[in-house]
Structure 1
Amino acid sequence: MINSEDFIKRLQKVIDYYNESASSFAEKIGVQRSSISHILSGRNKPSLDFILKILNTYPEINLYWLFNGKGDFFGEAQNKSVITEKQKEDLFSTNYKESEKKKVSPPIQDFAEKGKTIERIVIFYSDGTFKNFNN
């Protein structure tokens, strides 16, 4: 079960890190402003849907850290450091030169059964984080 007081501190840390107001944060993750207000005040506990909306908007945040406070804000993938805007841009940039793109061999689609296509792949890591890849 989530410790509400500790979750509020982590949520506030996320909001502050991204330089958002509660209102702009609510808009970005797709919830009503009152939802953020009620959670921050301790009136309501966060739902799983609320947490997933945060992670869908900010996939670099460590789920395990957000959910129960264990681990690091960005997890092991970021070498336990706060990343800069430039580093974020580099990490999530899709503007690679053709020569820099690596080909997957064999193509993932080769693993699908005949007549079926792969819809989604989820990779779970030992630290409680995961990556979700949609086709």
Structure 2
Amino acid sequence: MDLDQHPGKKIKWIIDNYEKGNSAEFARKVALSGPTVKSYIDEKTKPGYDALQSILRVYPQINLHWFILNQGPIQRELQDNELDILEENHRLREGIKSLYAVYVEGNN
């Protein structure tokens, strides 16, 4: 990938590689609206600080220097403590989904 690209191309790369092309799932995860994500991908707008921060929090394996400064590899190696945190977050999300299914949707 040409590193000197609009952030929308980088966001599209993240969506394609981490969300199997599902931009709605990406938007949900990073708490952005679908039209906002589309405007980034279409290169009509660029993400601001809050959007960048949310994207990099949700996808910690993305190299900040690549995303912001166009330097270095796309992905970075996560440290053991970061992997532990990601695993714990995944367990918490799955637990919340289960509770939601039971208490809100009435599924057992």
TM-score (norm 1): 0.51
2:16 counterpart of 1:16 = yes
- Which residues of 2 match residues 121-132 of structure 1 at below 5 A? none
When the two chains are superposed, the root-mean-square deviation of aligned CA atoms in Å is 2.2
Question: Shift of residue 57 of structure 1?
Answer: 0.8
**Alignment partner, residue 111 of structure 1:** none
The question of 1:70 aligning with 2:93 is answered no
Q: Give, in whole Å, the separation in 1 of the partners of 2:86 and 2:32.
A: 24
Structure 2: state its 5+ residue gaps: 89-108
Q: Matched residues in 1 for 2:17 and 2:85: separation?
A: 18
Moved over 3 A (4+): 89-94
1:6–1:69 contact (8 Å) kept in structure 2: no
Structure with the greater relative contact order (CA < 8 A, sep ≥ 6): 1 or 2?
A: 2
- Residue identity matched to 1:11: I
Unaligned stretches of 5+ in structure 1? 79-88, 95-135
Deviation at 1:69, TM superposition (A): 2.1
Q: Give the Cα–Cα distance (whole angstroms) in 1 for the partners of residues 8 and 23 of structure 2.
A: 12
1:84-118 per-residue CA deviation (whole Å, 9 max, x = no partner) reads xxxxx789445xxxxxxxxxxxxxxxxxxxxxxxx
Give aligned pairs, total. 80
Q: Say which structure is richer in helix.
A: 2
**TM-score normalised over the length of structure 2:** 0.62
Deviation at 1:22, TM superposition (A): 1.4
Q: Conserved in 2, the CA contact under 8 Å of 1:10 and 1:69?
A: no
Give SS of 1:59's match: coil
